[in-house]
Structure 1
Amino acid sequence: MNTRTVPVRRRRRILVGATALLGAVVLAFAVQQSLNAASASVANEAPTAETAAPPAPPQNDAAGSVIAPSEADGVIRDGDQPTVFDTGRVAISNLDPALLEALQRAAQDAAADGLEFRVNSGWRSAALQERMLQDAVIHYGSEAEAARWVATPETSAHVSGRAVDLGPLPTLDWLAQHGSDYGLCQTYANEPWHWELRADAATDGCPEMYTDPTDDPRMQP
């Protein structure tokens, strides 16, 4: 028996084992990366509580859509939410001047508490609003249910620049406590992100919230 063949065989077994282990590690890493990518994709498709974005349907470029939304229409993409000071974005600059001024004053004071106002939706073009309404009807299954979340272009406070959807949650908590000092009020009980300017709120407090937009007389045709 050749005694020198034993170490060679051992080295071969060690080499094969090491190769298999390396392959398993690479495979596990690839699977983990795939899972991470899938998780990120789902997170981007659905609004999260942390960003406090409205449960609006996704704006897909489907057949029959009114427009392919763009930043010029006031679109704000997930992960690219501007602050109330980013007036280079039309979603911010086209807001009602009095509302924008109140938002900026509030944001400056909230910054002392380490908070930042992020805008999930501000001014919208009428075309974008119509697109969102059409998508909402499909998403929610009926015009009646869609109306609880998305107004028509003719009645939307976003189209007129009189409303803004804000986040994240700590900012909304701060606004719930201090917003009325700046005339900023939550309008709808089902939309904690939707804020409008009420001139008398600083002295009289915010008016009672509507249950949802269908309860708002301004939303009636």
Structure 2
Amino acid sequence: MTSSHSTSRRVLGKEHGAVPHGLSVFDGAPAVANLDPELLVALRRAATDAAADGVEFVVNGGWRSWAYQERLRREAVAKYGSEREAARWVTTPETSAHVRGQAVDVGPAEARAWLSEHGARYGLCRIYRNEPWHYELRPEAVEHGCPPMYDDPSQDPRMRR
């Protein structure tokens, strides 16, 4: 691990999961390539089917290193003014599904709308009401539909440590 001081000063780029302009779900960049293999397969299947409907998916966030997630969390604390408010938007590296490669942030709006309607068919579920871009794999959704959403990450029991 890196100290918070050096993390904030060091440039954390593509190798840490940074996605400056969105990536194809078929890109080999670490933000995509380091996603959980089952999530990546489901995402690519959905993107292929969405493309047949004229909808293109881009990855605005995927796998992230511990250091990159910590930087995002610190930036959120500065932006929102408190740890509590920041936790509604950015989780700690210890709890982040992105750090584990188990979450993907999808854009643009048309792709999110397509996933909202069809994602359960692939096991791709929106998890948080306040984050329409954030999807995680829930294989049981294929048969049972997506589980109820949490209002935001601070309401998700997985985020409490």
Fold-level similarity (TM above 0.5) = yes
What is the Cα-based RMSD across aligned positions, in Å?
1.4
**1:184 and 2:127 are equivalent in the alignment:** no
Corresponding residue for residue 53 of structure 1 = none
Contact 2:58 2:108 in 1 (8 A): yes
Q: Distance in 2 between matches of 1:163 and 1:116?
A: 18
Aligned length: 157
Matches within 5 A, 1:110-189: 110-189=50-129
Matches within 5 A, 1:37-48: none
**1:65 and 2:8 are equivalent in the alignment:** yes
The aligned amino acid for 2:39 is L
Q: Distance in 1 between matches of 2:131 and 2:10?
A: 25
TM-score (norm 2): 0.94
Task: Summarize deviations over 1:98-128 as a string: whole Å, max 9, x none.
Answer: 0000000001100111111101000000000
Corresponding residue for residue 26 of structure 2 = 85
Task: Sort the Cα spacing of 1:139 and 1:182 in 2 relative to 1 into closer, same or farther, 3 A.
Answer: same
Task: Sort the Cα spacing of 1:215 and 1:71 in 2 relative to 1 into closer, same or farther, 3 A.
Answer: same
TM-score (norm 1): 0.69
Moved over 6 A (4+): none
Flag the structure with larger Rg.
Answer: 1
Task: Sort the Cα spacing of 1:64 and 1:197 in 2 relative to 1 into closer, same or farther, 3 A.
Answer: closer
Contact 1:66 1:131 in 2 (8 A): no
Q: Distance in 2 between matches of 1:90 and 1:183?
A: 22
Partner-residue secondary structure (3-state), 1:185:
strand
1:91 Cα shift?
0.4
Corresponding residue for residue 145 of structure 2 = 205
The unaligned stretches of length 5 or more in structure 2 are: none
Percent identity over the alignment is: 58
The aligned amino acid for 2:64 is R
Contact 1:67 1:131 in 2 (8 A): no
Task: Summarize deviations over 1:9-52 as a string: whole Å, max 9, x none.
Answer: xxxxxxxxxxxxxxxxxxxxxxxxxxxxxxxxxxxxxxxxxxxx
Q: Distance in 2 between matches of 1:175 and 1:133?
A: 26
Partner-residue secondary structure (3-state), 1:180:
helix
1:66 Cα shift?
5.7
Contact 2:58 2:107 in 1 (8 A): yes
The unaligned stretches of length 5 or more in structure 1 are: 1-61
Q: Distance in 2 between matches of 1:180 and 1:153?
A: 27
Q: Distance in 1 between matches of 2:9 and 2:120?
A: 37
Task: Sort the Cα spacing of 1:171 and 1:144 in 2 relative to 1 into closer, same or farther, 3 A.
Answer: same
Partner-residue secondary structure (3-state), 2:117:
helix
